[in-house]
Amino acid sequence: MTASIQMRSDFIYPVSGQLGELIFEIKGAEDMAFLPEIIPVAPGLYLSIMTGPANDYPRIDFRVGNAPVTFCLTLSGRFSSIFSSPGGFKEKNQHIGPNTNTIGSLKGAWGRMVVDPSLPVTCVELLIDPRLLHSYLPDHLIADVGGEKQIRLFRGQEFLSYPLDPELRKTALEVLNPPPLMGAALELFYQSRAMILLSRQVELFCQNARKAAGPPLKSEIRDQLAHAKSILTTDFLDPPTIPVLARRCGLNEFTLKKEFKRTFNTTIFTFVQKLKMEQAWALIREKNHSVSEAANAVGYINVSHFSKAFKKQFSINPGILKKDGNPDCPAHGCNFKI
């Protein structure tokens, strides 16, 4: 038997659609009460509580389109995940144990999580719209990748894990054991604890950014990288080679590739590929081009190779988009299913 619950989100994304879903496979279970409890806190901000025997969570499959940033405070339990992303990494493994603070940014990822049956599960999660989180972070932690803002600490879509510090653990326990309040008083209690968690997580982001940051780039190199990005954005349908691009922006090839990835949180190839696939989406969806016409327009001779790249980017086959006229790209949206 497969069960799922859905959270109708008031995330602040302006485009309607599906953020993603988690599917819990339950073997012979009748009681659905163990599924995560979702507590709306504010627009774009939620608390989620998972407690119960580990065998209540035998396997969790997930497919994510857009997604909140997830801060998971694991007090007890052990999880093993294998997941992939259209951003480039394949079959990345992640292991989460007790007393762990895990920060997840899994936009576009899919995979499977298995729970260790020997330990009970006790987790408190803070789910936040990425753009709301961006508003609390200093500008130097936000990168512009193909017109989309991303947090620099994330390398693509992935997890960051840290030990669960005493302050976070104390607040998580308060969320798990709220005082005997009702109505607005209880809502205010959860809001206050969510903001305490968010405040600490923002502090940790800034601390770890200072540790991870290399020496600051000279303004001349920043300008040269911005010029390289501008060239690629203009000429993405026929991009220059790395040696040509390096000469045009006045950098050597090694510095160009290294600092482009560091500055924009993406490789040159992935940046260009994303622009091509977004152009192909627009041609099929908005201009009624055929799949082969869209493929040729973005430089693909082999339609099957194009279809594979398109599905890798958007988790949908271009033929299905053409046939159904689906108005919402799976990588953009505002509803989050779990």
Nearest to 287 by CA among 316, 311, 322, 312: 322
Asked if residue 294 and residue 160 are part of one domain, the reply reads no
149 and 105, same domain (yes or no): yes
Please tell me whether residues 241 and 188 are part of one structural domain.
Answer: no
Among candidate residues 194, 213, 232, the one where a domain is terminated? 213
pLDDT of res. 179: 94
The answer to whether residue 242 sits within a structural domain is yes
- 66 and 110 share a domain? yes
Q: Which helix (H) or strand (E) holds 269?
A: helix 268-285
- pLDDT confidence of residue 14: 32
Q: Do 319 and 239 share a structural domain?
A: yes
Residue 117 lies in domain:
2-213
Beta-sheet pairing, 335-337 with 18-25? parallel
Residue 114 lies in a domain: yes
| Under 8 Å between Cβ of 98 and 75 | yes
What confidence score (pLDDT) does residue 112 get? 76
**Same domain flag for 184 and 92:** yes
Does any domain span residue 313?
A: yes
Residue 166 sits at φ, ψ, to 5 deg, of: -60, -35
Residue 53: give its domain's CATH number. Answer: 2.60.120.280
- Does residue 337 lie in a domain region? no
**E strand or H helix that includes residue 63:** strand 59-64
Show the low-confidence residues of the chain (pLDDT under 70).
Answer: 1-35, 54-67, 85-92, 106-108, 143-159, 209-215, 265, 315, 324-338
Does residue 20 lie within any of the structural domains? yes
The predicted structure's pLDDT at residue 199: 93
211, two tokens: 């540790």
- For residue 293, give both structure tokens: 């016409």
Is there a single domain that holds both residue 155 and residue 238? no
pTM: 0.57
- Looking at the fold, whether 22 and 130 belong to one and the same domain comes out as yes
Q: Is the domain of 225 the same as that of 205?
A: no
Mark which of 187, 213, 239 sits at the end of a domain.
213
pLDDT value of position 137: 81
Residue 338 lies in a domain: no
Q: Say if residue 197 is in the same domain as residue 312.
A: no
Domain containing residue 265: CATH number: 1.10.10.60
**Domain count for the chain:** 2
Sequence-distant (6+) residues with CB within 8 A of 68 are 11, 19, 44, 46, 127, 128, 129, 130, 336
Burial (CB count <10 Å: 0-12, 13-18, 19+), residue 186: middle
Q: 305 and 238, same structural domain? A: yes
Q: What pLDDT, on the 0 to 100 scale, is given for residue 213?
A: 56
- Same structural domain for residues 58 and 160? yes
